[in-house]
Structure 1
Amino acid sequence: ARVTAENLATGEVLAAEADEFGDFWFHQVGAAEWRVYAEAEGYLTRVLEASTAAEDRNMGPVELYRAE
């Protein structure tokens, strides 16, 4: 899956690819509010909100649903 994070204040976009276990990382992320998109062929795009304003965050499991 391709995962992108959009800084809601500045519009900065970070991108990562999930590994074979579905794990992904963004490094050196600034303190901000983020909108995170997870996309994979044949699946619906998942959109999540995250904040790194107070601390680093772990998104936890992000489930993707098959597009029908």
Structure 2
Amino acid sequence: MIIFSQGLMRCNPFLKNELTSLENQDHVSFNKMLGKHLAYLSAVKAKSFILALNNGKVAIIPKNNKG
């Protein structure tokens, strides 16, 4: 569980800032970070839904891909 939570903290761009603002009891900063976190979550969910509908045919492939 420790490894999982460390990975979660590193991969999420807003989680660390949210927890820091909670520790400092800065509610304004926490609300801003929570809003950004929810917007990020919504965008990821929408993107995965769209890619699932068309089997990933509209996915952007990096230009330096050699496959």
TM-score by length of 1: 0.24
Higher strand proportion (structure 1 or 2): 1
TM-score by length of 2: 0.24
Higher helix share: 2
Structure with the larger RCO, 1 or 2 (CA within 8 Å, 6+ apart)? 1
Q: Which has the larger radius of gyration?
A: 2
